[in-house]
Chains A and B, each alone.
Chain A
Amino acid sequence: MKRLLLLIYVLTGLLLVSSSTLAQTPTPTINLPKAKNLKCAIPGPLANQRRNHMKYLLHQRDKTMHEGIRNEPVSLAKCINCHVKPDAQGKLPKIASKQHFCHGCHEYAAVQIDCFECHADRPQKYIKRKQALSLKQMLQQHLASNDIKTPDIIKTGDIIKTPVSKNQQGVNQ
């Protein structure tokens, strides 16, 4: 029993020491350039961006690579375009520089980033997708909508037993 009590004392002592050192830990002060846009592509409070940005990026990376969807709201290129800004000399900081938005924070957190072994670390003009639909697509959509939309008469009317296509012709006229 004595031994157990001793163990408890030691453990509480350790806990107290560790909590007191935690209290002394300096709060992070990283002077990083402000982003171009005040509204971040990652939704929610700043904590969400800090804690979860990698998840947002990981989620869209496979969509982009394998499915060719390149206009997701969150993308590394967009992060870089908004957050990496020229320094006092007008030069864009490289990833090795502490002035680089990603590097500054990651150095503090001691988390290595591999993104920029391959990806561009500075903003570039990149190709944006045209939003307009082609005539071919409009035609396809038109045909698809014909399949889905059945006139109300067929749903409610008991009398009409004619095929769907005939009714659709009637509506067209």
Chain B
Amino acid sequence: MKQSVDNSRRDFLAKTAIAGTITIASGVLLHQTANAKSLNETSTRNPHTPVSNINRWGLLIDTNKCGKSCSACVDACNTENGLAGRTGPQDTQYIRKVTLRDKSTGHELSLPLMCQHCESAPCVDVCPVNASFIRADGIALVDRHLCIGCRYCMMACPYKARSFVHEELHNQKTSDPRGIGTVEACNMCVTRVDAGKIPACVEACSADNHKAMMFGDLNDPESGISVELKKHGGKQIRADLALNTGVHYQGLNE
């Protein structure tokens, strides 16, 4: 009797498994025929289980597609995280738009530069109170409950990714608590990622039809970002520092 119950259950699960395989297969086919860059992989983690190193979330930015005068990603980031959007030397910027100019040819490149979510991050190395940490799924965060505001991580970061909050803040977002006396940086929209969504900057870039940014799991060889990286390659900024960043760029020449 028990066996027959098992049978039906197993049959059902087997069918679901087959359905799953078909979906995955069709997804791969879709990728081969259509634009690979529209495939942003999102988190499918069970919300009750902790994050793990099964995933490593990363970004891929195609500088050839990035609009020179476009700031959609920066604006979306400011809205999402409740930033004022000022660009002074002491103001918080999660994303900076950087323009690179080749002096010999005059060729200009524009790219968004944010926390590169390094695997072996200097900010984590230097933090005296373990407030800087890399979450198991590769997202670099600051635990502001622990941060004492020494700003050592800001000095250690080669990408100028972190900012310090100098003044008392009001009207913060529930999704991004931030306050006076602590250091902050791009958190790859961690609450959105946990909710199975893509970061706000990537969404805004796609909505603006640039499609220069791509979000996905670097550990999953079948994710859009991994396939694209395997196919066309990508560069890490200051790869010589061997930090193994989670953010990759295309269209950068040495």
A interface residues, Cβ below 8 angstroms from B: 61, 63, 65-71, 77, 80, 94, 117-120, 124, 126-131, 133-139, 142, 145, 149, 151-152, 171-172
- Selected contact of A126 from candidates B168, B181, B191, CB within 8 Å: B191
B195, A151: Cβ atoms closer than 8 Å = no
Closest-by-CB residue of A relative to B147 is: A118
Report if B107 contacts A (CB, 8 A).
no
Q: Is there an interface contact between B6 and A171, defined as CB atoms closer than 8 Å?
A: yes
A44 to chain B, nearest CB (A): 23
In the complex, the answer to whether A139 meets B16 with C-beta atoms within 8 Å is: yes
Please indicate the chain B residues that have their CB under 8 angstroms from the CB of A137 in the complex: 44, 46
Chain B residues 1 to 43 lying within 8 A of chain A, measured CB to CB, are: 2-3, 6-7, 10, 13-14, 16-17, 19-20, 23-24
Number of interface residues of B (CB under 8 A): 50
In the complex, what distance in Å separates the CA atom of A135 from the CA atom of B135? 25
- With A66-B133, A130-B195, A135-B16 known to touch, is A124 a contact of B173 (CB < 8 Å)? yes
Q: Would you call A66 and B172 a contact (CB within 8 A)?
A: no
> Which residue of B17, B50, B175, B179 is within 8 Å of A127 (Cβ)?
B175
| B170: A residues at CB distance < 8 A | 94
Alpha-carbon distance A142/B195, docked complex (angstroms)? 24
Are B177 and A119 neighbours in the complex by a CB distance under 8 Å? yes
Interchain CB contact under 8 A, B47 and A126: no
Whether the Cβ atoms of A172 and B44 lie closer than 8 Å is no
User: Are A142's CB and B143's CB within 8 A?
Assistant: no
What is the distance, in angstroms, from B139's C-beta to the closest C-beta of chain A?
9
- Min CB–CB distance A29 → chain B (angstroms): 30
Which A residues are in CB contact (< 8 Å) with B174?
A: 77, 80, 119-120, 124, 126
Q: How far is the CA of A138 from the CA of B182 in the complex (A)?
A: 41
The answer on a CB contact under 8 Å between B191 and A118 is no
Interface residues of B in 159-212 (CB under 8 A from A): 168-175, 177-182, 190-192, 194-197
Bound complex: CA A159 to CA B118 (Å): 57
Return chain B residues, CB-CB under 8 Å to A68: 45, 50-51, 135, 137, 190, 194
Contact A120 B177 (CB under 8 A): yes
Query: Chain A nearest CB: distance from B10 CB in Å?
Result: 6
Q: Judge whether A131 and B47 touch: CB under 8 Å.
A: yes
Q: How far is the CA of A134 from the CA of B47 in the complex (A)?
A: 12
In the complex, the answer to whether B47 meets A67 with C-beta atoms within 8 Å is no
Do the beta carbons of A117 and B168 come within 8 Å of each other?
Answer: yes
Q: List 6 A-B contacts (CB under 8 A).
A: A66-B133, A94-B170, A118-B177, A119-B172, A120-B174, A171-B7
B196/A130 in contact, CB under 8 A: yes
Q: How far is the CA of A61 from the CA of B137 in the complex (A)?
A: 18
Shortest CB-to-CB span from A67 to chain B, Å, is 4
Asked if A65 and B145 make an inter-chain contact with CB atoms under 8 angstroms apart, the answer reads: yes
- Supposing A117-B180, A120-B172, A142-B17 touch, asked if A151 and B3 sit within 8 A by C-beta, the answer is yes
- For residue B141, CB closer than 8 A to chain A, the reply is yes
Check B23 against A135 for contact (C-beta < 8 Å). yes
Collect the chain A residues with CB atoms within 8 Å of residue B16's CB: 135, 138-139, 142
The reply on B151 being an interface residue by CB < 8 A is no
Q: Is the CB of B20 within 8 A of A139?
A: yes
Name the one of A71, A118, A145 contacting B144, with C-beta atoms under 8 angstroms: A118
**A117 CB → nearest B CB, Å:** 4
Across the interface, do B19 and A70 meet the contact criterion of CB distance under 8 Å?
A: no
Judge whether A66 and B135 touch: CB under 8 Å.
yes
Instruction: Choose among B20, B175, B190 the residue that contacts A135 (Cβ–Cβ < 8 A).
Output: B20
11 new A-B pairs (CB below 8 Å) besides A70-B194, A134-B44? A66-B143, A68-B135, A69-B50, A70-B47, A70-B195, A118-B144, A129-B47, A129-B195, A136-B44, A137-B44, A137-B46
A137 and B135 alpha carbons, distance in the complex (Å): 21
Inter-subunit contact B46/A118 (CB<8 Å): no
| A72 to B23 Cα, complex, angstroms | 32
Q: For residue A70, which residue of chain B has the nearest CB?
A: B194
